[in-house]
Structure 1
Amino acid sequence: MAITGKPHDISKDVEIIQGALAGEHAGIAAYRIAGESGLLAPDTLEVALLFKSHHEGHRDELAKLIHDIGATPVAPKSDDEYVTQLKLATLKSQADILTLATTLEHGAATGYISQISSIRDPGLAQLFSQISADEMIHWTTLNGAIGGPLPAEPFQFG
């Protein structure tokens, strides 16, 4: 992934990338902490670990872009901060975890889509579109697992 924007545009994109990276850190922590909870059935844990690996790939690409621009990627928060921020201590069942994961994935997909129009670099806009598609796949899978309805209206993300 190459940043192709003009220097004055890239600084704006770096802020957007940093925000996305912070979100990926939170997603990774949520899947890791939930996976370690013992509340997930083996097949559900397998999916959670797969989705965590997707978020790790997103994180790695975003961090590399930030580093290549010459900035320092935002660091992840502590597990305690994520437990508080995401209210992970309130999760008592697999259903609770899946409901939270569904909400987080919807937010991630929407977040990426909402940033695309602000991005100055076309390559970065394409990357955000690709990541958003991953997040939508995660949401669709999880929404189906919890028995959520199919969207009745168009434009559910963004």
Structure 2
Amino acid sequence: MTQMIDLRRRGLLRGSGITVLSASAVALLAGCERKAVAQSANGGAAANDVGILNTALALENEAISAYQLGAQSGLLQKPVLEVAVLFQTHHKEHRDALIATIRKLGGTPVAAKSDAEVAQALNASALKTQTDVLRLAQRLEKGAANAYIGVIPSFGDRNLAQVSARLAADEAMHWTVLTQALKDPLPAKALSFGA
């Protein structure tokens, strides 16, 4: 299953549009709905929750690496660099909370990929300007927000659904700040996340 997630995540990361990213991320975190229902019926709700949390942990680890790559690129100017480091700190807090929850549920947290692996998956060598870095971060943040929103109904433990909503709120806030930094217009219509 880990190999399948790795292959699907590579496709997710290479997607050219936000719609592809968010749909793939939701599919990754939510998994097959029938499988979740079957596991829940067989008492496997906690195992299903651990699987969802581990995929979320992989997203957080990727975000930590992505912000590290951005910070080390030399492309980010001082005020933007400070915000990137702050967002990386948020993702580290998300990571730590996910690891603790996975362990509490009796699961084993997935290992983080190296920064080099993430750089290759994200095609970091193509980043040439601060705007390139911000666009990548913006796309990843929106994909993560949509993924967290998409899995809320899949959790067997309703408390985890609330945690997922809180994580989605952080990701949406990150996306909004990045969107403003890029001087992109905000969505004209409501309900722009989770679709």
Settle same-fold status: TM greater than 0.5: yes
Pairing partner for 1:20 from 22, 47, 56: 56
Displacement of 1:50: 0.2
Write out aligned runs for 1:8-157 (5 A): 8-157=44-193
TM-score (norm 2): 0.76
Moved over 4 A (4+): none
Question: How many corresponding residue pairs?
Answer: 154
Letter in 2 for 1:152: A
| CA distance in structure 2 between the aligned counterparts of 1:110 and 1:90, rounded to whole angstroms | 25
Long gaps (5+) in structure 2: 1-39
After superposition, the C-alpha distances for 1:69-100 in whole angstroms (9 at most, x for unaligned) are 22210011112210111111110110110111
Letter in 2 for 1:47: V
Identical counterparts, % of pairs: 46
| CA distance in structure 1 between the aligned counterparts of 2:146 and 2:122, rounded to whole angstroms | 17
Give the structure with the higher percent helix: 2
Long gaps (5+) in structure 1: none
Letter in 1 for 2:147: G
1:138 is paired with a residue of what secondary structure?
Answer: helix
Letter in 2 for 1:8: G
Q: Which moved more, 1:84-93 or 1:130-139?
A: 84-93
| CA distance in structure 2 between the aligned counterparts of 1:10 and 1:50, rounded to whole angstroms | 32
Letter in 2 for 1:19: T
| CA distance in structure 2 between the aligned counterparts of 1:71 and 1:13, rounded to whole angstroms | 10
1:152 is paired with a residue of what secondary structure?
Answer: coil
Higher relative contact order (CA 8 A, sep 6+): 1
Displacement of 1:8: 2.5
Letter in 2 for 1:115: V
